[in-house]
Amino acid sequence: MSVADEWTAGPTGSAPAAAQVDVLVLGAGPAGMAAANEARAHGMSVLLLDENAAPGGQVHRAVESRTPKDEQDRDGAKLAAAFRASGTDYRPGATLWAVEPATEGGGGKVFWSEGGAARSVATQRLILCAGATERPLPIPGWTLPGVMSVGAAQIALKTAGLVPEGQVWLAGQGPLLWLYAVQALERGGRLAGIIDLSPPGGLRRALPHLGRALKAPEYLWRGLQWQRRVRRAGVAVTVARALRAEGEGRLARIVVDGVAHPADLLLLHDGVVPNTQVTRAIPGCVHGWDPVQACWRPGLDLWGNTAVAGVMVAGDSAGIGGARAAVHAGRIAALEAARALGRITTDERDARAGPLRLLRDRQLAPRLFLDAMFPPLPPAAIADEVVLCRCEEVTAGRVRQAVALGCLGANQTKAFTRAGMGPCQGRICGPAVHGVIAAARGVAGGEVDPFRTRFPTKPLTLGELAALAGPL
C-alpha cells in the first residue's frame, strides 16, 4: 500500500446518508427569504442556511428585534414574518463550506457546519443569495486597532445599540457611508467628521444617467436627504485626496491631506461588491468582469441560472442592486426552480415572473447613476507600504514585485506572496489585490484572473471534516 493509499483508505459510503431537499437556499437576506417563500408557495421542500443568528441579512439585520424606524425596516419585518411562517427548514448559525454539483442533470450536494458538526444534504436546486461585502479601502495604517469598516459599525448599531461617540471619523464614499451617518446621528451618536474621498466630477459623470435614475426617484431623494441631515447636524464634511491612520498600538490620529486630527475610531467605506466566494469555487461556474462596478459577477441567464446545472444566484451576489431588487430576483429564481422541478409550467413561470421583472428593473434604474457617481477609488494610488492582505500582512509593494516577476493574475501572485492565503481566503483583500495587479500590468480588470476560491470556502475544524468519513 502506498503512502497515498494509506492516507485515503477507509470504508466507502460510511458518511451518514444525506437527506434530500428540493431547494437549498443560502442566505436569509432579502433575496434568500423571498426565494424560500416563493419556493414554498409552490410546494417545494426548502432548506435555508444562514450564518447569522436571525433572519434579515445585512440590510435587515436583527429586524425582528428592533422597532421599525422606516419603510425599509417595515419591508424587512414583513418579509421575515412571512419567511418564519413559510414552512422553510431554516438553519440559523449554519455555515456552508462546500458544494459538489451533480455531474449530470440537477441535484448536487451541499456541505455545511452547524452547532460544531459538519452536515450534508442532496438538493435539486441551489439558490445562492450570499449578498455583498464591502470593498476594502486600504490606506496607510488601516490595520491599526480602531480602524473598522462602516458596515461593521452599522452591525454594532443594529445588533448591540452601539453609537459612535468621541473622535469618530467616517471616510471614503458611497451610499452606505451616508446612511450609517444618519442612522448613528438619529440614535444619538456623534461624529467628528466625514472625509469624502470620492473622485471629483461625480455629478458630471452621473448626469447622463439621471433620466433613467428618476424612474425610481426615491433613491436619489433619500441620498440627498441623508447628506442634508448630516450637514444640518453640524458634522463637517471634508473633501480630501489622501488619508492615513496613525498611532502606536492603536489609532490615535488621522492625517487628511497633510492635516492631523485626533481620532479614536475611523470607519472606512468604498462601496460594496457581490460576494462570489462560493460561486467562484464551483468548477465551471463562469464569471464576468463588470467594468463599471469593478467587480466579478457570476454569468447568469434571465432566471438566475449559472453555467452549472442546478446552481442559481439571486440578489446582490449576482451584482449590486439593493434589497428591493434582490427580493424580486429571489422570487424569479424560485419560480424557475419550480418550473425545473415540474411544479409549474413554463407559461405559468413566465406569467408570474413578468410583473416581478418590471418591478426589479425599476429598482435597478438608479444603479448607473450611482455607479458613475461613486466609482471605486483607484488601486494605483495605494502606496507600496500599505498592507493589502491583512491575514498574511502582504503589502501593495510585494504584490507589485510579484507582477514584475511575471505574475499575471491573483493566483500566481498568491503563490509568490501568500496574499490571500490566510484564514479569510482573500475575502477582504481580493478586490484590492486584483486592482493593484491590473494597475501594475496596465490592463483592464477583466484581463486579470481573480483569486480562485476553494472549498471549504469557510474554515471548519479537521475534527468536523474527519467525522464525515465516519468514526476514526
Partner 1 sequence: MFRRTEPTDCTITWEGRTLPARTGESLAAALLAAGITAFRETPVSGSPRGPLCLMGACFDCLVEVEGAQNMQACLVPVSPGLRVAMQRGARDFVEDAA
Partner 2 sequence: MSSPPSHTGLFDVAIIGGGMVGSAIGYGCAERGARVAVLDEGDVALRAARGNFGLVWSQSKGDGMPAYAAWTRQSVALWPALAERASALAGRDVQYRAVGGLTFCLDEAEYAARAHFVQRMHNQGQQGLVMLDRRQLQDLMPGCPLGPAVRGASYQPADGHVDPLTLLRGLQAGMRAAGGVHLPGAAVEAIDPIAGGYRLRRADGSEVSAQRVVIAAGVLTTKLAQMVGLDVPVRPVRGQNIVTERLAPILPLPASAIRQTGDGTVQIGVTSEDDGSFATGTTVDALSRMAGRALRVLPVLAQARMVRGWAALRPMTPDGFPAYAESTTHPGAFVATCHSGVTLAAVHAGPLAGAILTGALPEHARDLHPDRFVGMTDVSSH
Alpha carbon distance, N-terminus to C-terminus of the chain: 19
When CB distances are held under 5 to 8 angstroms depending on the partner's kind, the choice from partner 2, partner 1, none that residue 18 binds is none
Nearest to 49, CA basis, from 105, 100, 99: 99
Contact 139, 269 (CB under 8 A): no
Contact 169, 159 (CB under 8 A): no
The residue type of 285 is C
Per CB under 8 A, 160 contacts partner 2 = no
CB atoms within 10 A of CB 364: 20
User: Which are the contacts of 349, defined by CB distance < 8 A and separation ≥ 6?
Assistant: 335, 336, 338, 339
Whole-number Å distance between alpha carbons of 34 and 43: 15
Per CB under 8 A, 68 contacts partner 1 = no
Per CB under 8 A, 103 contacts partner 2 = no
Which member of 33, 98, 129, 285 binds partner 2 (CB under 8 A)? 98
User: Which are the contacts of 442, defined by CB distance < 8 A and separation ≥ 6?
Assistant: none
Whole-number Å distance between alpha carbons of 387 and 385: 6
3-state secondary structure of 77: helix
Cell of 465: 471534516
Contact 250, 146 (CB under 8 A): yes
Nearest to 375, CA basis, from 223, 240, 204, 198: 198
Q: Which stretch binds partner 2 (CB under 8 A): 121-129, 149-157, 160-168, 446-454?
A: 446-454
Per CB under 8 A, 236 contacts partner 2 = no
Q: Which stretch binds partner 1 (CB under 8 A): 39-47, 76-84, 159-167, 317-325?
A: 159-167
Which member of 69, 74, 204, 454 binds partner 2 (CB under 8 A)? 454
Using alpha carbons, list the distances in angstroms from residue 376 to 140, 208, 371, 389, 428: 17, 19, 9, 18, 15
Residues 179-208 that bind partner 1 (CB under 8 A): 187-189
Per CB under 8 A, 249 contacts partner 1 = yes
Whole-number Å distance between alpha carbons of 217 and 207: 14
Smallest gap from Cβ 469 to partner 1, in A, equals 22
Which member of 73, 100, 165, 348 binds partner 1 (CB under 8 A)? 165
Whole-number Å distance between alpha carbons of 192 and 169: 5
Which member of 109, 212, 222, 390 binds partner 1 (CB under 8 A)? 390
Residues 116-155 that bind partner 2 (CB under 8 A): 120
Per CB under 8 A, 264 contacts partner 1 = yes
Which member of 251, 278, 332, 333 binds partner 1 (CB under 8 A)? 251
Q: Which stretch binds partner 2 (CB under 8 A): 155-163, 188-196, 251-259, 440-448?
A: 440-448
The residue type of 15 is A
Per CB under 8 A, 472 contacts partner 2 = yes
Whole-number Å distance between alpha carbons of 413 and 178: 35
When CB distances are held under 5 to 8 angstroms depending on the partner's kind, the choice from partner 1, partner 2, none that residue 229 binds is none
Per CB under 8 A, 277 contacts partner 2 = no
Q: How many residues bind partner 1 (CB under 8 A)?
A: 42
3-state secondary structure of 27: coil
Per CB under 8 A, 161 contacts partner 1 = yes
Which member of 41, 156, 235, 237 binds partner 1 (CB under 8 A)? 156
The residue type of 142 is W
Which member of 425, 429, 431, 433 binds partner 2 (CB under 8 A)? 425
How far is it between the farthest Cα atoms of the chain? 76
Cell of 31: 433575496
Which member of 37, 72, 113, 133 binds partner 1 (CB under 8 A)? 133
Per CB under 8 A, 342 contacts partner 2 = no
Smallest gap from Cβ 399 to partner 2, in A, equals 13
Smallest gap from Cβ 57 to partner 2, in A, equals 25
Binding positions for partner 1, rule: CB under 8 A = 51, 53, 58, 133-134, 143-149, 151-152, 155-156, 159-166, 168, 187-189, 249-251, 264-265, 390-393, 422-424, 427-428
Binding positions for partner 2, rule: CB under 8 A = 1-10, 15, 98, 100, 109, 111, 120, 283, 402, 405-412, 415-416, 418, 421-423, 425, 440-443, 448-449, 452, 454-456, 459-463, 465-470, 472
